[in-house]
Structure 1
């Protein structure tokens, strides 16, 4: 398992809920076999390669962190290429860093 951590700053904190709703809509529609009209083609690659996605937000500053999990290193490479080709939506801030790690331990306590 591999994880890609992308950090964003300068986002519009007042649009966080709107942006989350748009992400959910794109993911749901893509899972159903179609791409929304406004979705980038790279979204299909993400649905095919990313097994789990976590989006963390700071509602005060508009900063956010996206964590994508892929089962294999090859899937992570493909997902990373797709995400690097995508830009944050208007008001989503700017990507400040991207890091990729191997997941060494993943345990749940509940």
Structure 2
């Protein structure tokens, strides 16, 4: 599994929460093909990261064009400026279930 980590600074955290909800819940068909899961981590109102999960590197690379389009569709005043983009292989992933 591949995790794509995009980090943003600036922008409008409340507007991004609204946009993320709209994209991820109401318009999920507009997301890149092959996207398995998305997590949005908020550090504070001016810095956040989006982790997108894919089955493999090929699928993650193929999604880049759609991510670039999405960046053009969301005003920088809302999304902020992308300050980092990294890709990781997910080496270990366990969801803890408590009885």
Instruction: Point out where structure 2 has 5 or more consecutive residues left out of the alignment.
Output: none
Aligned match of 2:4: 4
Q: How many residues align?
A: 94
What is the 5 A alignment of 1:67-106?
A: 67-87=51-71, 88-89=74-75, 90-106=77-93
Q: TM-score, normalised by structure 1?
A: 0.72
1:26 aligns with 2:23: yes
User: Contact 1:9 / 1:93 at 8 angstroms: preserved in 2?
Assistant: yes
* Partner Cα separation in structure 2 for residue 27 and residue 6 of structure 1: 16
Bigger strand fraction: 2
User: Contact 1:4 / 1:80 at 8 angstroms: preserved in 2?
Assistant: no
Q: Secondary structure at the match of 2:26?
A: helix
* Partner Cα separation in structure 2 for residue 65 and residue 103 of structure 1: 16
Instruction: Point out where structure 1 has 5 or more consecutive residues left out of the alignment.
Output: 34-42
- 1:109 Cα offset (Å): 2.2
Q: Secondary structure at the match of 1:3?
A: strand
Q: TM-score, normalised by structure 2?
A: 0.78
